[in-house]
Structure formats: structure tokens, C-alpha cells
Amino acid sequence: GAVVSQHPSRVICKSGTSVKIECRSLDFQATTMFWYRQFPKQSLMLMATSNEGSKATYEQGVEKDKFLINHASLTLSTLTVTSAHPEDSSFYICSAFGDRGRRDSETQYFGPGTRLLVL
Amino acid sequence: TQLLEQSPQFLSIQEGENLTVYCNSSSVFSSLQWYRQEPGEGPVLLVTVVTGGEVKKLKRLTFQFGDARKDSSLHITAAQPGDTGLYLCAGRGNTNAGKSTFGDGTTLTVKP
């Protein structure tokens, strides 16, 4: 079964609104989670590393004020797309490595993704 | 920066044919994963290889990790339409804050 969940799975919003996406590790603790963006038929592009209890680390070219990340607990990270515009429309995926407890620490478990469409 | 070159980018074959996808790098990885992703879904892990020279089999899929842990291959025997999807390799280094480096992906289409 799934070990990482994302909510919502699909969201349609108007330009200028903010959208929050949740990522949860279901049966393990994740001190670090990763947020990716993916365009059709392309690979994953890492946006940022979410760190529990501290600031996220953003990849070069990713606007931290545009994509707000909060890792409030060991099982939850959120990505908020602020003032969304049509060019932000994409497939957003989160992931976490296992924690050497119930899950393999070398394996990266992915959420099912969130399809964002900004009109 | 660790780079992972994946090839081919697109592959369209007939049912029953064999195929191989390659991932190559100049960097050493502590482990390498292969994923398969279908449209609108997140990647699903197929295998993790850790030891140089390791070979793992998953039904008709054979995964190999290079001796130097810099490259890997995925071989599919007698491909079926159900194998259609995006295949991604991802290497994890000992540093780089635990992040994975992803290949560009291989879009495989198996025609019946």
C-alpha cells in the first residue's frame, strides 16, 4: 500500500490565488522530504528539500517566496504555491526516504502527485 | 553536481521485443533506484541496487549496477503493452544532503 500520501490529487484554481498541497508519510517518520515538479513526459525536477523544524533548502532558480514550504511535523510537509499563475500549472510530487525503522532508508518513497491547473 | 545520463529518451517497440535502458554517470553513487511512472501518478519503485556488480531480477526485468557504481542498466525481456510507461533512474550519493539525482527518463511504448 501507499507509504506517502498527497492531498489534493487535483486542484484547479484562479490566477492570483494560493494553493496548499500536503504530503504525509503514513507509517514512518521523515525528517526530510523533497518536493519535485514534473512536466509531461519529462523527468522530475527537484524544487526544494523540506527539513522538519527548520527552513527548507531551495534549488537554484526556485523562488522561495513563491513556493512556501513548511515541515511542521515528522510526518507532514506542505507546499503552498502563492499567487499562482498559469505558468505554475504542473504536476507536483513529494517524496521521503525511509527512516531505517519500518522503511528502507535507501529507498525514496513518492507520493501520488498533485495536478495543479491555474486558469 | 552529480549528473545521470539516461538513454534512450524515447523507445517504441513491438510486443515481444527486448530492450535495454542505460543510466551513466561520472560520479559514484551509494545506491541507485529504478522507478516506473504512469501518467498522472507518482513514480513507483522497481528496485534498489547498492553493491557494485549487483544484478537483480524482477520477473522479465533485469537490473544491473556497474562494478564502479557509476552506471546501471535495465533490461526488459519480451516486452508487453503493460510495460509502457516512463522509466526513471535515480542515484543517491554519499553527500549532497541525501538528495537523489534523476536521469531524464525513458518513455517506453510497447505496441500490441
Determine the length of chain A: 119
- Rounded distance between C-alpha atoms, residue A88 and residue A115, angstroms: 11
Taking the CA of residue B45 and the nearest CA in chain A, the distance in Å comes to 7
Whole-number pLDDT of residue B57 = 96
User: Between A6, A32, A93, which is nearest B98 by CB?
Assistant: A32
Residues of chain B in contact with residue A112, where contact means CB-CB under 8 angstroms, are 41-42
- DSSP calls for B4-26: -EEE-SEEEEETT--EEEEEE-S
Q: What is the DSSP letter of A113?
A: -
Closest-CA distance, B85 to chain A, in angstroms, reads: 9
Q: Cα(B106)–Cα(B7) distance, rounded to whole angstroms?
A: 7
Please state, as a whole number, how many other Cβ atoms lie within 10 Å of the Cβ of residue B9.
14
Q: Which of residues 39-98 of A touch B (CB under 8 A)?
A: 41-44, 46, 49, 57, 91, 93, 95, 97
Residue closest to A52 by CA, chosen among A22, A35, A29: A29
Contacts of B6 in chain A (CB under 8 A): 43
Interchain proximity A107–B33, CB inside 8 Å: yes
Interface touch A110/B44, C-beta < 8 Å: yes
Top pLDDT among A97 and B78 is at: B78
User: What mean pLDDT is predicted for residues B63-91?
Assistant: 96
* Cross-chain Cβ contact A93/B42 below 8 Å: yes
DSSP 8-state assignment for residue B103: -
Between A40 and B33, whose confidence is greater? B33
Decide if pLDDT at A44 tops 70: yes
Q: Is A34 on the interface with B (CB under 8 A)?
A: yes
| pLDDT confidence bin for B97, thresholds 50/70/90 | low
**Res. B1 pLDDT band, cuts 50 70 90:** low
